[in-house]
């Protein structure tokens, strides 16, 4: 953990083992004013922003404006007058600035799963033209299950010898010494592991994938808005991600899709809806894809959810992602330090990597009664979440989580574990924890 004089996230580690020191860190935090940009219930410490971000101030007002004015008064004219038609590209430019995408490379649309299907299909078709013998999609065994399910569905559609193969995280981190064979067409990786918070080096991993003759697709759901991402600089081919976690777009807010400039015109849309047509209002009976990133659109967009998502994205127009990343690391350093110092007499293990270069913006710990422990914590107004097996996840969202929040969370954990407050029936009923 660092002191304010070190600069958040820099300098030599120094123990911070009392709450007063954490309060002083909060007072010196250059991002402190951003906490006022979000609305949380009084007394709540919210550490689940890696599943659903907090509500930005102005979100409800923006939704009301769309409903009562743009829809209620403007009616269908708002597709033009209120800029509805251009929202996917407009928001895409804002996301591109957060993930290092470059102009004209990103659109906000659909869900992460649907966008993954699109880009994975496109990548396989590109490889079918360039290297038809490559028919394997490689992805992490510990990937978020929906990603694996979508890839399985895709290869079933492709048929003709296509298959999904799973690779362990250790193999990925080591640069694919065995898994990246000359059969692999596409590698789909999640940048930050949803369960452990493990971060993979995008530039090095992408280089290894390209050296093996495959295309690289990244899932940024647990990194966009939480740490610095440079898709173009890393040489990535395609990427997808959501806006409802660290980007605070709201429940079920639309996802995004990014494609490198070199591959945009090679895309063949597997879901060829009218919004991706070159001239959508010509109503032609045959499909002609739009030029550039707009061809990744499919059908009519959800304007209400997209408009609300813009409120969360606009917050990032006022922050430097380097500052966000620095605070994220400082918060997670503190969390790990306090767990080591205050919970070591319990069967608790930190499973998130301790090295900064291998850590996202969460801390995950295990306990044999993890589900019940998290349930007990939530009853105190400290909201994290639980993932099998035995993993308690704590998302550290730098825009609204502070150092005193981390102290209070670990202190509550200590009390729950010391006094076995988790050992009551209501905390052991499955299905009550997010």
3-state class of 328 per DSSP? Answer: helix
Q: What percent of the chain is helix, strand and coil (3-state, nearest 5)? A: 45, 15, 40
- Rounded to whole angstroms, the Cα distance separating 62 from 96 reads 22
- Strand (E) or helix (H) holding 202: helix 202-211
Q: Which of 147, 393, 394, 403 is catalytic?
A: 393
- Strand (E) or helix (H) holding 62: helix 59-65
Rg over CA atoms, the chain: 22
- Rounded to whole angstroms, the Cα distance separating 227 from 208 reads 22
Q: Which of 110, 147, 219, 237 is catalytic?
A: 219
Q: Which of 94, 135, 245, 414 is catalytic?
A: 245
Q: CB under 8 Å to 86, separation ≥6 — which residues?
A: none
393 among known catalytic residues: yes
245 among known catalytic residues: yes
Number of neighbours of residue 77 by Cβ within 10 angstroms: 11
Q: Which of 38, 244, 267, 386 is catalytic?
A: 244
In whole angstroms, what separates CA 235 from the centre of its chain?
A: 19
244 among known catalytic residues: yes
Is residue 48 within 8 Å of 383, Cβ to Cβ?
yes
Q: Which of 35, 144, 165, 408 is catalytic?
A: 144
- Rounded to whole angstroms, the Cα distance separating 413 from 428 reads 16
β-bridge pairing 215-219 and 238-241: parallel
Number of neighbours of residue 389 by Cβ within 10 angstroms: 9
For the annotated catalytic residues, the residue numbers are 144, 219, 244-245, 393
């Amino acid at each position: 953990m660092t002191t304010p004089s070190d600069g958040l996230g820099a300098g030599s580690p120094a123990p911070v083992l009392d709450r007063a020191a954490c309060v002083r860190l909060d007072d010196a935090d250059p991002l402190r004013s951003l906490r006022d940009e979000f609305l949380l219930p009084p007394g709540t410490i919210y550490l689940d922003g890696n599943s659903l971000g907090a509500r930005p101030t102005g979100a409800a007002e923006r939704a009301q404006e769309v409903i009562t004015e743009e829809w209620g008064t403007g009616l269908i004219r708002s597709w033009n007058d209120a800029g509805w038609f251009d929202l996917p590209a407009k928001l895409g430019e804002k996301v591109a600035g957060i993930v290092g995408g470059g102009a004209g490379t990103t659109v906000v649309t659909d869900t992460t799963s649907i966008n993954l299907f699109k880009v994975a299909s496109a990548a396989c078709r590109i490889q079918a033209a360039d290297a038809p013998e490559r028919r394997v999609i490689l992805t992490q065994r510990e990937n978020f299950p929906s990603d694996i399910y979508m890839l399985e569905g895709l290869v079933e559609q492709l048929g003709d010898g296509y298959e999904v193969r799973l690779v362990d995280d250790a193999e990925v981190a080591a640069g694919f010494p065995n898994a990246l064979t000359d059969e692999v067409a596409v590698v789909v990786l999640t940048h930050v592991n949803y369960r452990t918070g493990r971060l993979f080096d995008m530039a090095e991993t992408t280089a290894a994938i390209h050296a093996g003759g495959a295309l690289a697709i990244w899932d940024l759901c647990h990194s966009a808005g939480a740490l610095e991402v440079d898709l173009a600089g890393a040489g990535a081919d395609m990427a997808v991600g959501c806006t409802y976690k660290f980007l605070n777009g709201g429940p079920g807010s639309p996802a995004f899709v990014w494609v490198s400039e070199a591959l945009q015109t090679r895309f063949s849309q597997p879901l060829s809806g009218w919004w991706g047509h070159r001239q959508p209002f010509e109503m032609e009976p045959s499909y002609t894809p739009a030029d550039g990133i707009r061809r990744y659109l499919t059908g009519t967009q959800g304007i209400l959810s997209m408009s609300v998502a813009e409120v969360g994205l606009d917050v990032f127009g006022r922050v430097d992602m380097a500052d966000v990343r620095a605070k994220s690391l400082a918060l997670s350093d503190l969390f790990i330090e306090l767990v080591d110092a205050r919970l070591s007499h319990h069967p608790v293990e930190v499973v998130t990597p301790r090295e900064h270069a291998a850590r996202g913006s969460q801390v995950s710990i295990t306990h044999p009664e993890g589900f019940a422990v998290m349930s007990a914590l939530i009853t105190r107004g400290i909201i994290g979440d639980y993932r099998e097996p035995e993993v308690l996840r704590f998302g550290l969202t730098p825009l609204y989580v502070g150092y005193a929040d981390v102290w209070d969370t670990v202190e509550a954990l200590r009390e729950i574990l010391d006094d076995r407050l988790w050992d009551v029936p209501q905390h052991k009923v499955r299905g009550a924890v997010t």
